[in-house]
Chains A and B, each alone.
Chain A
Amino acid sequence: MTAATAAAPAGTGGVGFGRVLRSEWLKLVTVRSTFWTTAVALLLAALTALLFGAAVDPGSQGGTATALDGSTVSLSFVALVVGVLGVLAIGGEYATLQIRSSYTAVPRRWPALVAKALVVAAWSFVLGAVITFGSFGLIAVLYGGKGVSVGLDGEAVGVLIGGAVYLAVIGAFAVGLGALVRASAAGITVLTALLFVAPIILALIAGALQAEWALHANDLLLSNAGGVLFTRPAEASMALWAALLALAGWLAVVWVPALLLTQHRDV
């Protein structure tokens, strides 16, 4: 065997954000955990929609509104699946020392981290859209069989896209969280606590102390503020802009320290 005498590949100008995005995309689609988590999410969502469509009768609020509820009800636990995907995307790199290869190729580090969040968010958005529109379609067919009419109006489209946006936010949040704690198990634990435990605790506090602030705090939680995105405005606990602001706050809580620490930490 001879040494690597081939001239440097021509026309490669070095690291650019578009290239880092492509690299992160390749990372996402070349590990099996991406497909497992995605398959689990789709299966859960499809089962939920089928059960809902078969068992829940539209009440006084009508077919479309009920179908929308059914199309988004799976998002609360699909959010956890997407969160696991996001945490694993970065936690897995720390666990396998892949992170050293990654940060040797992109020594400024932040482009790799931001690109990873973008591809996970994009994947989650598409998954979310497939789930919400697919569930809506399934339920519409099942309701059609019962003679209940369901229509895809502007408000319905907004709710269904809002669900996809929520999953994108969770995916990006999870990548930031994973980068902050640098371990998959810790990241998934924190995420589960935030999505499922915190709302229960705040609700208990609100009930026990008759505390108004606990109710407001509960509304601002990641899962509840996120829920506003896929709730019809008439039923939402707050305005869409307020919910988006709260979600931006949650993203900042993990991303500001994650980016600052990532630049200086030894890996």
Chain B
Amino acid sequence: MIEATGLVKRYGARTAVAGIDFRVRPGVVTGFLGPNGAGKSTTMRMIVGLDAPTAGSVVVNGRRYRDHGAPLHEVGALLEARAAHRGRTARNHLRVLAATHGIPDRRVQEVIGLAGLTDVADKRVGGFSLGMGQRLGIAAALLGDPATLILDEPVNGLDPDGVRWVRTFVRALAAEGRTVLLSSHLMSEMAQTADHVIVLGRGRVLADTPIAELIAGGGSRVSVASPRGTELAALLRARGGTTAPDAGERFDVRGLDAAAVGELAAGAGIALHELTTVGSSLEEVYMSMTADEVEYRSAEPTTAGSAA
């Protein structure tokens, strides 16, 4: 369980995190979603005590990270691929971290296997690709077999195999009852991995909700094609639907479901060439959400001087 209360981080005049509250619960994969600069990485660094909050607090299992006696057993964090000395081998990097907690070499060997690093374990980190760096970071996060995992952009730089591996892996970790928080700016990835999503934009929480609800809340539309499209569109509007565009052979309908559209067309003797329900994607929901945020922010007098 990770709990943030009134968390603020400013770097000089720039506000990276503007007072956020959230909880990350065990047993599910929680996604931090947001564009670059939304405050995801800053928040994650504050969780593990690398950055000090300007105001507010964040605790892991009831305590500040710094106050845990065995932090690697509480939280495993991948914050930066290749956060390792270039000149050290992967195995030695892990042994160095393990030594601080008296974690035996046997466990180092285990996480090397788990992360798929066996072939490169004795090569220097300086020669690693971004993908291997990510795997090393994941291995380091797993060293203490922690109940909480924090992974910042874990699929960044991974090949398709690696992406699938991370996805399966984090889902398995959550299924074991662990708390998993991962961030991504890739909405498709988040849709496939996370159960719950916290959307950040400009350092604020825009949404904190199960991912299914977020998508459902975005509404769906019906895509229609008909040779008598203009006539049908007028009929649908008369029955409470909205159409876009209002004329032509193809248009989208909102406010009526596919069944209602089909019945109305049949009743009027109009042939349909296509009738499809289109669910909104996480991406669409997210775009509209952050667009609102941007408009709202730029309308604020206090930010009038900014370039945005």
Contact = CB atoms under 8 A, between A and B. Distances in A.
B173 A107 contact: no
A3 B65 contact: no
A26 B99 contact: yes
B134 interface: no
Contact of A2 (B45, B66, B97, B172): B172
Nearest to B113: A1
B170 to A, nearest CB: 9
Interface string B250-266: 00000000000000000
A4 interface: yes
B99 A12 contact: no
Nearest to B171: A3
Interface string B55-98: 00000000001101111110001011011111111001101110
Contact of B142 (A4, A23, A31, A108): A4
Given A3-B176, A93-B85, A104-B71, A16 B99 contact: no
Contact of A9 (B51, B84, B96, B103): B103
Interface stretch (A95-103, A126-134, A136-144): A95-103
A36 B202 CA distance: 47
A32 B125 CA distance: 13
B140 interface: yes
A15 B71 contact: yes
A100 to B, nearest CB: 5
A101 B138 CA distance: 12
A107 B83 contact: no
B246 to A, nearest CB: 53
A104 B48 contact: yes
B110 A6 contact: yes
Nearest to A11: B102
B66 A108 contact: yes
A7 interface: yes
A27 interface: yes
B96 A30 contact: yes
B65 A107 contact: yes
Given A3-B173, A12-B101, A105 B80 contact: no
A55 interface: no
Contacts of B51: 266-267
B96 A5 contact: no
B50 A103 contact: yes
Contact of B103 (A12, A30, A33, A106): A12
A216 interface: no
A23 B99 contact: yes
A19 B104 CA distance: 12
A147 interface: no
* Interface residue range, chain A: 35 or more
B100 A106 contact: yes
A7 B50 contact: no
A4 B100 contact: no
Contacts of B84: 96-98, 101
B52 A14 contact: no
Interface string A38-54: 00000000000000000
A30 B87 CA distance: 8
Query: Which of under 10, 10 to 19, 20 to 34, or 35 or more describes the interface residues of B?
Result: 35 or more
A208 interface: no
B69 A97 contact: no
Contact of A26 (B68, B79, B95): B95
A13 interface: yes
A14 B145 contact: no
A31 B103 contact: no
A15 B176 contact: no
Given A101-B97, A105-B97, A9 B80 contact: no
A7 B233 CA distance: 63
Given A6-B145, A12-B70, A101 B100 contact: no
B80 A97 contact: yes
A93 B83 CA distance: 9
A197 to B, nearest CB: 30
B241 interface: no
Contacts of B69: 13-15
Interface in B133-179: 140, 142, 144-145, 165, 168-169, 172-173, 175-176
A158 interface: no
Contact of B116 (A1, A2, A5, A16): A1
Interface of A: 1-9, 11-16, 19-20, 22-23, 26-27, 30-33, 92-93, 96-98, 100-108, 112, 264, 266-267
Given A9-B107, A30-B95, A92-B85, 4 more contacts: A1-B168, A12-B70, A15-B69, A23-B99
28 contacts: A4-B145, A6-B145, A8-B73, A8-B144, A9-B106, A9-B145, A12-B70, A15-B70, A23-B96, A23-B97, A23-B99, A23-B100, A26-B96, A30-B88, A30-B96, A93-B85, A96-B85, A96-B86, A98-B93, A100-B80, A101-B83, A101-B97, A104-B50, A104-B72, A104-B77, A105-B72, A105-B100, A267-B51
6 nearest A-B residue pairs (beta carbon): A14-B70, A3-B172, A23-B99, A14-B69, A30-B92, A266-B51
